[in-house]
Each structure stands twice: as structure tokens, then as C-alpha cells.
Structure 1
Amino acid sequence: MSGDHDEIRGTARGSAPVPLSVLDLVTVGAGRTASDAIRTSVGIARTAERRGFHRYWVAEHHSMPGVASSSPAVLLAHLAAHTDSIRLGSGGVMLPNHAPLVIAEQFGTLEAMAPGRVDLGLGRAPGTDGATAAALRRSERHEGADEFPQQLVELIRFLDDEFPDGHPYRRIHAVPGPVQATSPGGVQSTHRPPVWLLGSSGFSARLAGSLGLPFAFAHHFSAANTIPALDLYRESFRPSEVLDEPYALIGVSALAAEDEEQARRQVLTGALSMIRLRTGRPGLVPTPEEAAAHRFTEMERDFVDGWLANIVHGTPDAVRDGLNDLAKRTGADELMITANAHGGDVRLRSYELIADAYGLPGAAAGAAAEEGPGA
């Protein structure tokens, strides 16, 4: 296992207490297309790069009309062609859906496209429902949690080209990869994508700690488990070639607007979208007008109140204070912000306002709006 500490650890910019990054679900709003959503993602990635955010990740989801990120590697290749310096990665690839060799080849290719800029974040959930997972895996059998560590070790060995003698895969090589350096005239790449483990419970936290890997926790949809999982990660941590000490990132939903009422109006679209997803009716992200007109049942209202309580939203100063408080309470080493709303222009504006509130570098707010239509 090999890695570069500098490729994992970020540097805080401006007045941010920890590095700030972006998680983009490539959301598709009602009245918009997947092409619109991807153009918006390019705009967000460019904005994040220009304003001093540390990384930009996309997450694997399937069979969800409102989320156009089913193929992280394809999206990352497109984003690599439109950015120059920001770290790009998966937040994450759902490893049980794929053969480890395929992932090693895909991310080896991405590393060749954007040397020193690629992160490989891995999750063990399917990123979808059981029937879709079966279609992805061509099997009705669900991978057990105990199989994920074996898949992870296999993937890392493909990335490092380090299967032991006698292993059935000893003569199989992930290309692009280290084997090219051993060929006549070959030159070893100076980088390979750092592996991160993602989680929303204690399983991946303990595994990441025991292997000495960086850990990313999904606070944005599992807030009650954040501190217990981070404590377990730190308690389980063993120094490795990758890290000398724990490094924990948390994903957090946050949206800034010019005033509190506007911010709540926008985040309500994501709450209604989540209600529909969790009740078996996934669809495009509704407009603010549709969300405002929706007649919530008492049960739905309770869900909305709980959901919005875990989204940092409001004026830029309020969002900055909320993020600072979250970083302090959790001891997170990095915050990865996801802005879930109908309009791409709203999400772009939110990242600009947050950057302004923290004094991050870059041009004045609003310049990124020219990147393309919202999604």
C-alpha cells in the first residue's frame, strides 16, 4: 500500500478552520436534462477550483431520475478535461457493484489523465435498491459485509501491482498501472490514486482505522452517527504507509443565499425529493414553487423538520458559523459541502457565497453563472 500524505491532507484557505471541498450529486431538476446537470457540474467544479476549495467528488447512484452520477469515472474524465488543479474523486464508487480490476483500470486511466489529482473513495452500499443492485451485479446474491474487506484488499493489490507469488492474480495487471514501469523502457508514475473509505455507520470507520486509510463520513444523511463513527475511526486507527495519524472528512449539506427565507425555500426542494425517494417514488428534483405548494402530511412534515435540521442553510454568515460549529463539534479534518437544490444557478451561487464568507481566494461572486444553464 502506498500513498502521499500531501494528496490526502488539504490546506485551509482564508478564514476556514479546515479545508472545504465539494460533493456534487449532479442533480437533475424538473424541466432540465442530464446534459444541463453535467454542464452545471462543470461550472461548479471550475468555481470550486477558482475559489480555493480543496477537492471535488461525485457519488455513484443508480435508478434515480434526479441524480445523473451513475458513472463516476466517466464524469471525472470529463471534469478533468475542464479543470487544472483541483483534486477530483469519487465519493464514492460502490465497490460491491464492480470487479476490483475494472475499478483499478478506470482510476489508473483517470490518474494518467490528471496526474496527482485523483482520489478513489469507496463505499460498500449499493447506492440503489436491491433489485437494481442485482441487475448491476448480474446476481441475486447480495454481497455480505464481510466480503467488502476482501474486495478492498484485492483492489489495492491491483492498484499497487503487488499480488504475492502463488496468488491466482499474480500475472494479472491493472493498466495503466505500475507494471508499465517494469516493461522495457518503462517509467514509473509518481502517483497512484489514494484510497478512501466512505461510510454512514461504524463498519467502514473501523476498517479505515485498522488499515490506516483516510475516512469520509456521510454526515449529510446520517448525522446521528457522525461522532460515534469518527470516535471509532480514531480509536481503531493504526499508522500506515498512507497516513501517520487519522484524517477524517465529513460530508455536510449546506446552502447559502442572500436571506434565510430564500435559503429555506431552496432546500425544501431537496427535502421533498428525499421524501419521494424514500417512499418509492424517485423523480426529478422539484421546483421551489412545487415544493412550496406541496401539502405535506403530518408524517412528511416531521420528516422535513428533521431533514432540514441537519442542513446548514441561511445567509452566508449563518452558514459559515454553522460549518465552523460542526467542524469544532466533530473534530473533522475537512468539510465536504453538498448543495442540494433544484437550480444549478442556486447551487453555484451558494458556493460563491460560502467562499466569500470565508474569504477564500478568487473572483467576486456571480462569475460562475456563465458556465452553463442550471440543473
Structure 2
Amino acid sequence: MSDETHGVDGNDATDGIRGVRRGSAPVPLSVLDLATVGSGLTAADALRTTTAIARLAERRGFHRFWVAEHHSMPGVASSAPAVILGHLAGRTERIRLGSGGVMLPNHPPLVVAEQFGTLQALAPGRVDLGLGRAPGTDGATAAALRRGRTDGADEFPQQLAELVRFLDDDFPAGHPYAAIHAVPGPVQGSAPGGVQSSARPPVWLLGSSGFSAELAGRLGLPFAFANHFSAANTVPALELYRHTFRPSAVLDAPYTLIGVSALAADDEREAHRQVLTGALSMIRLRSGRPGLVPTPEEAEAYSFGPLETDFVDSWLSNVVYGTPGTVRDGLDALAKRTGADELMITTNAHTPAARLRSYELIADAYALPADSGSV
């Protein structure tokens, strides 16, 4: 088998991919968090909120909780997903934890294999390894992360193959890395006196275009699409994935997850106030002025120019927001339109209490079970 297709045949990472539908939700519901930092708040505040959301998500029956990798953005504190996930592993018991995603070109594959092998040891059987090929930042920061390397996204298939070889510990004899082992990993189970640990984390491919969709299909891997910032490409990318999908030891049929930006509040005005903070934050980021997420008061007082107004209208058209019933209807419609197997909700707004309230309201809208026994 070629290195590019390795990981499709013969690995045991089949558990934990397909989500569990709870309550009246049409598909499993999960959470993506960026540890957003609001004006007047600190990174410590943001990470405490991330932890609180993860615990709420577990208590209310969301299926998985992922964190994203971003760099050099003052308003986002999720630059080190593995570190955050290690923290969350000690503060949750059942919810699946994962990366949405690790930007593989930024890291040596061996390091990623060791990080997620460690996470799997900390939280056996509930870790997902989602991988992307974008830098998660601007070009200059990407160059600093990669120490001047220029291969970047073009080398992603080869980097992916190398990572999976490290995860499975099965480089062929004669390969330069045949004697190198990612630890924690399978080598510990084959060593004298060793006990085989649980299967390594399932690998997901993430994307916002057709490249990763086609690669995930050819490799028979689950595919997560960033509908929350590339909505126009969602249906074409999912169709490409399904068309190119080849059954594998990981999946016998395609499995699609889409990220969706959503916020529920007790009334429409409050929902609009909160999502407007995210829109203004994106305007500043895309105009080269990244900063902390503004307060609702700052966003309401901001004088949007004509082009900025057009951007806000376009941005908010891809956000599902309003009262709980409105959000539920919007999520149902999106699941039906795309045929997605799972929805992963991200709520990027300034106010921690509003974000927590949103997930609680969405859980109530779908009658997700409340587990008072959760840690």
C-alpha cells in the first residue's frame, strides 16, 4: 500500500466516529470552541469559560467538544489545542474531546502523534484527532511556526501519511523512521511485559474547500466542513466527499460533520447584540486590525460603513441566531439541506454568560437530557 493511502486499511480506530443522537435533535449535536477573549477579559477568563462550556456540554448530552488552533489573534486563546484538551480531560468524564483542528503543516507529525497519544492515555477512548492543512493564521506567523519551510499545505497528504504511520507504529522495514516510536503508543504494548492500550484516536480531516473533502473520501476518513465561514462551499464539498468516498477499515460509509455558528438567547434583540460582536471582530481581523472581541455596547455604537454593513449582512446570514425555537428551526433546516450526519455548534460572542446560556437554551430546545451527576 502507498503511504498516501495508509490508515485506510488495517487500523482499529473505528470507535467514536459516528455520533449519538439525543433528545429530538435530527442529528448528533456537538460543540466547537475557540476560547474567545472579550474586551475587558483575559485569556484566563476565556479558558475558564471554555472549561465551563465543556462541562455544560457533557452534562446536557452534546456528543463531542473540540477546540481549534489559531495563532497571533488577540481575541482567540486556542493556540495550543493539545494543552487545552489535556486540561479538559481532567474536568470531564464522558464527552469526546478533540481538535477542530490541529493544523498539521505547523507541526512535525511525530510531535502530534505523541501529543494525542498522551491525550488518549489521559482520556482513553474519547479523543478525536481532527487535522487541517491551513495555517490558522497569517503568512508571516505561519513562516515563524514552520521555521521558514515553504512546503505548507502542498505536503499535507504526505504529512498525514507519516502521522498515521507514527500513530499505528508500523513504518515498513527499511524506512528511515522504522525504529522511531511515538510514545505513548502501540510500541508499549508490544514491548516485553507491555499491555496494549486502547486504540489510537480516530483521525478526521477538516476543510473549507474541496481538497480535504476529496482526500478524506479517497482515504475513507470522516470529514468535517467549516460551514460557519465557508457556507457557499458546504454542499459542493460534501457532495465531492460522498462521491469520492471509498469504504475503509475506519468507515463503511461516509460520515460528515459541519461546523455552524449559532447563538440562542431569550429574545431576538439580545441574540442580535451578541452575534454583532463577532461580526465586528471579523471585520477588524480581515482588515488587518485583530483585537479582542468587542462588547455588545461597543458593537452597537460602532458606525459601520457601507462595505462593512454589506459584510455584516453577509456574515450574519450564515449565523443561526435568535430565540431557541428560531435557532432550532435553523439548525434543522441546515441539517436537512446539507444531509450532514452531525452538527458542531460554535458560539463566538463577547459575553461568557451569553455563550453558556446559548448552549443551555439549544439543549432545552431539543430536549437533550440533563445529567446532574456529571462532574
With the shorter chain as reference, the TM-score category is over 0.9
User: Is the partner of 1:6 in helix, strand or coil?
Assistant: coil
Q: Which aligned pairs between 1:291-330 and structure 2 lie closer than 5 A?
A: 291-330=299-338
Residue among 20, 23, 30 paired with 2:29: 20
Residue among 37, 40, 53 paired with 1:31: 40
Q: Distance in 2 between matches of 1:361 and 1:6?
A: 23
Deviates more, 1:184-193 or 1:345-354: 184-193
1:181-212, Cα deviation, whole Å (9 max, x unpaired)? 11111011122100000000000000000000
Residue among 177, 180, 193 paired with 2:185: 177
User: Is the partner of 1:280 in helix, strand or coil?
Assistant: coil
User: Is the partner of 2:330 in helix, strand or coil?
Assistant: helix
* Structure 2 unaligned spans of 5+: 1-6
In the alignment, is the contact (CA less than 8 A) between 2:134 and 2:153 conserved in 1?
no
Residue among 60, 83, 87 paired with 1:78: 87
Task: Determine if the alignment matches structure 1 residue 362 to structure 2 residue 370.
Answer: yes
Residue among 126, 130, 140 paired with 1:121: 130
1:274 aligned residue: 282
Q: Distance in 1 between matches of 2:371 and 2:167?
A: 38
2:3 aligned residue: none
Q: Distance in 1 between matches of 2:15 and 2:195?
A: 22
Structure 1 stretches of 4+ with a deviation exceeding 4 A read none
Q: Distance in 2 between matches of 1:336 and 1:145?
A: 24
Q: Distance in 2 between matches of 1:101 and 1:63?
A: 24
Q: Distance in 1 between matches of 2:371 and 2:172?
A: 51
Following superposition, the deviation at residue 363 of structure 1 comes to 6.2
Q: Distance in 1 between matches of 2:348 and 2:371?
A: 23
In the alignment, is the contact (CA less than 8 A) between 2:28 and 2:342 conserved in 1?
yes
Following superposition, the deviation at residue 144 of structure 1 comes to 4.7
User: Is the partner of 2:254 in helix, strand or coil?
Assistant: coil
1:199 aligned residue: 207
Could you say what the CA RMSD is over the residues aligned between the two structures, in angstroms? 1.4
The amino acid that maps onto 1:323 is L
Q: Distance in 2 between matches of 1:216 and 1:224?
A: 15
Task: Determine if the alignment matches structure 1 residue 228 to structure 2 residue 236.
Answer: yes
1:103 aligned residue: 112
Task: Determine if the alignment matches structure 1 residue 340 to structure 2 residue 344.
Answer: no
User: Is the partner of 2:176 in helix, strand or coil?
Assistant: coil
Task: Determine if the alignment matches structure 1 residue 350 to structure 2 residue 345.
Answer: no
Deviates more, 1:297-306 or 1:3-12: 3-12
Q: Calculate the TM-score normalised by the size of structure 1.
A: 0.96
Residue among 159, 168, 172 paired with 1:160: 168
Deviates more, 1:141-150 or 1:181-190: 141-150
The amino acid that maps onto 1:107 is F
In the alignment, is the contact (CA less than 8 A) between 2:105 and 2:153 conserved in 1?
no
Q: Distance in 2 between matches of 1:362 and 1:87?
A: 17
User: Is the partner of 1:196 in helix, strand or coil?
Assistant: strand
User: Is the partner of 1:45 in helix, strand or coil?
Assistant: helix
Q: Calculate the TM-score normalised by the size of structure 2.
A: 0.96
Residue among 251, 265, 268 paired with 1:257: 265
Q: Distance in 1 between matches of 2:291 and 2:126?
A: 33
The amino acid that maps onto 1:42 is T
Task: Determine if the alignment matches structure 1 residue 62 to structure 2 residue 42.
Answer: no
User: Is the partner of 1:15 in helix, strand or coil?
Assistant: coil
